[in-house]
Structure 1
Amino acid sequence: MAERRTRADALSNRTRILHVARELLSSTSDLPMNAVAKAAGVGQGTLYRNFPTREALLTEVYRADVDRLVASAASLLEQHEPVAALRRWLDEVADYARVKRGVLAALEPRSGHALAASHSGPIGEAVDLLLDAGKREGSIRVDVDAHDVLILLGSLSRLDGTEAAGRARRILGLIVDGLRARG
């Protein structure tokens, strides 16, 4: 019985650490480990037991966001028509992009590029899932593919933090409008 309590506490601590790190990264690329521990309400030992390095923490925040983003595509298609699902998914991409910018800025350039490249496949598969559903329904153009969308989404990375808040959703709306089937 005591063993389960420890595991539940450890999982709760890890989840809280990731949540705090993600929140901090949405506004800055500066991620002092002591600030994460303090904001998460855990000691330095607990933080470093879960994430032995700052890079390990950043990598896990990024991986968790990618996993959540990829998984949400199928879920959104179950709840919405394809174009609406795509738009909602792209809104999630905007939130993800904010954190991604913080993670990649905080990592060494080589580590950041490798991390981003390692997750482009699953994100492309999620885009394909959404596009294919819309193509079958006739609401998405048949001449677009995931690579086209990913190139368009790359424009979000060019926006600085203050500009991104105001323009990202508008740009995503333009992308969705451009993907709609005409006629």
Structure 2
Amino acid sequence: MAETKTPDASRRSERSRRAIFDAALALVAEVGYTRTTIEGIAARAGVGKQTIYRWWPSKAAVLLDAFLDLAEQAAQGETEIPDTGDLEADLKLVLRATVDEMNSPAYDGPARALAAETVVSPELGAQFVERLLEPQLELYVRRLRAAQDAGQVRTDVDPRVALELFTGPLAHRWMMRTLPLTHDYADKIVEYALYGIAPRRG
């Protein structure tokens, strides 16, 4: 008599979780956040809606986890800003990659939906900052501190404040949608932040 294997519940759960993430991101991109529902996500993922409610309390929570998973996939295991010894080149590389990510339809819809939802949901906003934003900002802090140790940045500069010179303009232009996000723009942000806009002396 052939031996039958017990179904792997953890593998089945992971497949369902992945299908839910894919469905949530796809629906937000296709119909927008307000028209995305738990029922729609469940139908798209091929699961019962109670499966979703067992893991998440709301569609916003589903989208946050799906977006975090998307960000992890995009990072492809890279957990630090490169340190080649050339701070300008390293920051330009990272900001160009950020521009590409922000311009991606896979990123844009879910990111805008989460940004809007965090305004009306303090709890979601706190999770967004703790789980996604702060870990990303900490990468800049560590890279700028390494640059300080190498004598490339003044020792009196606060890296946590300085990083906003690089990330803030990108976020502002992305939110406003009035001007394009380009690699040239990213390069100029790095140059202006590192060297200032006043005339250089001698």
Normalised by the length of structure 1, the TM-score is 0.66
Match of 1:130 in 2: 143
26-35 or 6-15, larger mean C-alpha shift: 26-35
Is the contact made by 2:16 and 2:47 (CA closer than 8 Å) also made in structure 1?
yes
Aligned pairs, number: 179
Are positions 1:104 and 2:83 aligned together? no
Is the contact made by 2:88 and 2:190 (CA closer than 8 Å) also made in structure 1?
yes
Match of 1:163 in 2: 177
Partners of 2:69 and 2:172 lie apart in 1 by 23
Partners of 1:79 and 1:52 lie apart in 2 by 44
Match of 1:16 in 2: 19
Higher relative contact order (CA 8 A, sep 6+): 1
CA distance change for structure 1 residues 166 and 21 in 2, over 3 Å: closer, same or farther?
Answer: farther
Partners of 1:176 and 1:166 lie apart in 2 by 17
CA distance change for structure 1 residues 81 and 118 in 2, over 3 Å: closer, same or farther?
Answer: same
The residue type equivalent to 1:104 in the other structure is: A
Matches within 5 A, 1:11-160: 11-25=14-28, 28-30=32-34, 31-64=36-69, 72-74=78-80, 76-77=81-82, 82-94=87-99, 95=101, 98=108, 99-107=110-118, 108-119=120-131, 120-136=133-149, 141-142=153-154, 143=157, 145-150=159-164, 152-159=166-173
Whose helix proportion is higher, 1 or 2? Answer: 1
**1:127 Cα deviation after fit:** 0.9
53-62 or 157-166, larger mean C-alpha shift: 157-166
- Which one of the candidate residues 156, 178, 183 is aligned to 2:192? 178
The residue type equivalent to 1:154 in the other structure is: G
**1:54 Cα deviation after fit:** 1.9
- Which one of the candidate residues 6, 17, 21 is aligned to 1:2? 6
Is the contact made by 1:144 and 1:179 (CA closer than 8 Å) also made in structure 2?
no
CA distance change for structure 1 residues 59 and 83 in 2, over 3 Å: closer, same or farther?
Answer: same
**1:24 Cα deviation after fit:** 4.4
SS at match of 2:177: helix
How much identity, in percent, do the aligned residues show?
Answer: 17
CA distance change for structure 1 residues 38 and 80 in 2, over 3 Å: closer, same or farther?
Answer: farther
Larger Rg: 2
Q: Unaligned 5+ residue runs, structure 1?
A: none
Measured on the aligned residues, the alpha-carbon RMSD in Å equals: 4.0
The residue type equivalent to 2:140 in the other structure is: V
**1:154 Cα deviation after fit:** 3.1
Q: Unaligned 5+ residue runs, structure 2?
A: none
Partners of 1:82 and 1:2 lie apart in 2 by 54
Partners of 1:9 and 1:164 lie apart in 2 by 44
